């Protein structure tokens, strides 16, 4: 069975700090490139969806039918309640 030693603890702390600084350095190098690629890919996907959407709109032209009977009878507004005229009493 092994026991924990002070030198082992110091080595572990050193490895953690070294890993932290190496990770920060690599993130500064590669993170901007990765973000740039992700943004470009998202832009391409949006353009493809826009083109597909425009193509579907041209394929499915809907006819607009004008019904003149509805134009002669305008829609009636809803009546919520009765109007009551109040007078001031002296």
Torsion of CA 36, 37, 38, 43, to 10 degrees: 90
In angstroms, what CA-CA distances link 59 with 18, 63, 66, 80? 60, 12, 22, 45
The mean pLDDT value of the chain amounts to: 81
pLDDT in tens, 15-40: 999 999 999 999 999 999 999 999 99
**CA 67 to centroid of chain Cα atoms:** 40
Q: In the prediction, which pLDDT does 64 show?
A: 63
């Amino acid at each position: 069975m092994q026991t924990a030693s002070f030198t082992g603890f110091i080595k572990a702390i050193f490895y953690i700090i070294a890993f932290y600084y190496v990770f920060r350095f690599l993130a500064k190098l590669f993170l901007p490139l990765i973000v740039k690629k992700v943004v470009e890919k998202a832009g391409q996907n949006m353009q493809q969806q826009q083109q597909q959407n425009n193509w579907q709109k041209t394929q499915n032209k809907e006819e607009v039918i004008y019904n003149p009977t509805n134009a002669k009878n305008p829609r009636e507004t809803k009546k919520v309640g009765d109007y009551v005229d109040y007078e001031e009493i002296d």
